[in-house]
Amino acid sequence: MTVKTAAQPGPHTPGPRALARQRRRASAARFWRQYRRHRAGVLGLAVLVLCVLVALTAPLTVGADAQSVTGAPGGPLESPSARFPLGTDRFGRDLLGLVIWGSRVSLLVGLLAAVLSVAIGTLIGITAGHFRGWYATVMMRITDWFLVMPTLVLAIALATVLSRSLGTVVLAIGVTTWPTTARLVRAQTLAVEARPYIERAKALGGGHWHVMSRHVLPNVMPLVLAQTTLIISSAILAEATLAFLGLGDPTVVSWGGLLQDAREAGAVSSGAWWYLVPPGVAIAVVALAFTLCGRAVESVLNPRLGVSR
Amino acid sequence: MTAEATSSPVSPAEGPVAGPGTPGPATGRGPRARTTAAYLRYVAGKLAGAAVSLLAVLVTSFFLFRLIPGDPVRFMTGGRPVSAEQIAVYRREFGLDLPLWRQFTDYCGKALTGDLGTSYQFRAPVIDKITEALPNTLLLTGTAFVLYTALGIVLGTRSAWRHGGLGDRLNTGLALTLYSIPSFWLGLLLIIVLSVGVGPVPGLFPTGGMESGGKEGLAHAVDVAHHLVLPVVTLVAVEYGQTLLVTRSALLDEMGGDYLTTARAKGLRDALVRRRHAVPNALLPTMTLVFVNLGRTVAGVILVETVFSWPGLGGLFYQALSVPDLPLVQGLFFFFAAAVIVMNTLADLLYPLLDPRVGR
């Protein structure tokens, strides 16, 4: 009887897809209502929206010539003035324009690296939670190994042996930062798989793929979302660090690369603080904004964490 | 190196436990004997795990640096034009003419005896460069580690005890902000403000290095301490936030505990409830995470030593990277990873002695 109504919806009852859509919309609204109560989270989100807008509109607001070394508008290492609000770099380029251009690379690399890292972590976490036995043991052993390893040292080693490009940086950060996600997702998978409806799905003939993709994955998604936000923040810091150590892509402008330029140009000993302050502040602000968002999402999902609002 | 590292944790850990726990032949297997046996099993498991991890590091450090497209000799010569004979000499000198599996077994055999190869750049054994720089790194890291752990635990405890208050919000906010700041950038700013001097402010601290030279005895120690201030401040600033947040959430978890209500009900002062009852229980998860996060500290040390030209392992790593001097990068990679694994294993072996709930 119920099966029949679900398969052939009447003219007034919404179909299963519409029902699912409605439910999803309701839970998104509930999530947003709770998220809004975290002042720090809202602040972080606002900062992020602003940064993304600035990064996306960079070609319109500053133009591509801001990055070109030839024909730079000012003299080298000019302190801030009305014409160059943040001063100029060692080639005489406007630092404000460079910081705006740099946001594109830093945000992009941070985002891609975090997505890669969380994807690996989720895959390993779900499969290690679903398939017990030797597979899970081996996977968790590998996870623990990566968890203890000094991430930056591993990333540096990878970036050293591969060619200098943004893809290398994304890869180096992605394959070294996934273990925390894998452990969190595995724990959640074990909790979900203990629920009765999983047994029901299996009894009805649901295979491994069906259980993992239709039942476990939707239940770990909120956790994965929170984890992504937190990892973007550390990925942005890692990108800046690699670029500062000279392991980034030398052909693009990024915040870490600007800091490396500043150090090489002797900005420290000549006291050219305006060369150092803006890229660093930009990194810190964006990393902090992602951390605040991540913590707010985490505490909406798990109120026991007691994150201050 | 590896042999020493895996065997050394046994002796200090076994001492205190095996002593009182060893059963006399007449008494038979009492409860203490059972706990000792359980502890020994736990120790064996942890040591085996550490051995596997170290082996994995060894394998990774070998194959990772063979991923490089092309010839390692190309890196060594740094693009300078060299004759074919010269290349052949280099290949023989660094054992690159052997088949890969022979290179691997040679590498493992040598690593077990503490030989990590020869640096291209310094023409000196990698292990010598490491032992030369190690004391300097230990001085910097040890000082910073003690300070940031203590600071994190004290501030985290305060924050959790009055959670939601103004102090808590300021504390957590500051910790999160400092946690989001790149350590190298903070170091550069400190150098500009406090070493180079801005405007009328004179430089108070040296811009880098570890000593000014030409000083003896006490004056030398004071000089090194003077050089140590800024790197330590930088490391503490970027690392204490993690400890603070972990302590705070561990203590928040404990604060709902019935035993705290009992402690208060029997009339203990608030400070005593916190110090004697809540904090000791919250410390274990904190210490676990402090050790798991040692890997992050290694990152901080590399950057801070680079920025302050501190003559330690991190500074050496940066020098090796900029060439790139592959045997040195490889050796340091192995050393950093092995050191973190050994420290974690030591911590694992100590937990059951600190907290009987672990490992039983």
Least confident of A164-168, B39-43, B120-124, B258-262: B120-124
What is residue B344's predicted lDDT score, i.e. its pLDDT? 86
Whether the per-residue pLDDT at B196 is higher than 70: the answer is: yes
A265 has a chain B CB within 8 A of its CB: no
Half-sphere exposure of B153 (CA within 13 A, CB side): 20
What is residue B199's predicted lDDT score, i.e. its pLDDT? 65
B57, B65, B168: residue with CB nearest A308: B168
A40 interaction partners in chain B (CB closer than 8 Å): 173
A237 has a chain B CB within 8 A of its CB: yes
C-beta atoms of A233 and B163 within 8 A = no
What is the arithmetic mean of pLDDT over B150-170? 89
* Residue pLDDT, tens place only, B29-83: 556 666 788 888 888 988 998 898 888 888 888 888 776 655 566 666 655 666 7
B337 interaction partners in chain A (CB closer than 8 Å): 149-150, 153-154
What is residue B289's predicted lDDT score, i.e. its pLDDT? 78
What is the arithmetic mean of pLDDT over B98-123? 81
Distance in angstroms (rounded) separating the CA atoms of residues A96 and A103: 11
% residues pLDDT > 70 (chain A): 88
Best residue of B192, B251, B254 to probe chain A, by most A CBs closer than 10 Å: B192
% residues pLDDT > 70 (chain B): 82
C-beta atoms of B64 and A161 within 8 A = yes
Whether the per-residue pLDDT at B16 is higher than 60: the answer is: no
* Residue pLDDT, tens place only, A175-224: 988 998 999 899 889 888 888 988 899 899 888 899 898 888 888 888 88
Q: What domains appear along chain A, each with residue ranges and CATH number?
A: 34-61+94-305 (1.10.3720.10)
More confident residue, A11 or B188: B188
Strand-pairing partners, residue B125, are B118
What is the arithmetic mean of pLDDT over A142-157? 86
Q: pLDDT band at A97, cuts 50/70/90?
A: confident
Q: pLDDT band at B233, cuts 50/70/90?
A: very high
* Whole-number Cα distances in Å, A124 to A67, A142, A202: 41, 10, 21
What chain A residue is nearest to B65 in terms of C-alpha separation? A161
What is residue B18's predicted lDDT score, i.e. its pLDDT? 37
What is the arithmetic mean of pLDDT over B257-263? 86
What is the arithmetic mean of pLDDT over A16-22? 86
A151, A271, A288: residue with CB nearest B295: A151
What is the arithmetic mean of pLDDT over A294-298? 86
Over chain B, what is the mean pLDDT? 79
More confident residue, B118 or B335: B335
What is the arithmetic mean of pLDDT over A80-109? 80
What is residue B153's predicted lDDT score, i.e. its pLDDT? 92
Question: HEC string of A190-242?
Answer: HHHHCCHHHHHHHHCCCCHHHHHHHHHHHHHHHHHHHHHHHHHHHHHHHHHHH
A40, A151, A280: residue with CB nearest B185: A280
What chain B residue is nearest to A161 in terms of C-alpha separation? B68
* Residue pLDDT, tens place only, A241-294: 999 888 888 888 889 888 888 888 877 777 777 888 889 999 999 999 998 898
Q: Are A144 and A182 in contact (CB under 8 A)?
A: no
Best residue of B53, B137, B158, B180 to probe chain A, by most A CBs closer than 10 Å: B180
B57 interaction partners in chain A (CB closer than 8 Å): 149
Residue A86: how many other CB atoms lie within 10 Å: 19
Q: pLDDT band at B210, cuts 50/70/90?
A: confident
More confident residue, B82 or A23: A23
What is residue B358's predicted lDDT score, i.e. its pLDDT? 65
A280 has a chain B CB within 8 A of its CB: yes
- What residues have CB less than 8 Å from B86, skipping those under 6 apart? B77
A157, A241, A295: residue with CB nearest B329: A157
Sequential DSSP letters for B316-347: HHHHHHHTT-HHHHHHHHHHHHHHHHHHHHHH
What is residue B1's predicted lDDT score, i.e. its pLDDT? 35
Sequential DSSP letters for B73-113: HHHHHTT----HHHHHHHHHHTTTTS-HHHHHHHHHHHHHT
B52, B64, B302: residue with CB nearest A157: B64
H or E, element range at A260: helix A255-264
A241 interaction partners in chain B (CB closer than 8 Å): 182, 184, 299, 303
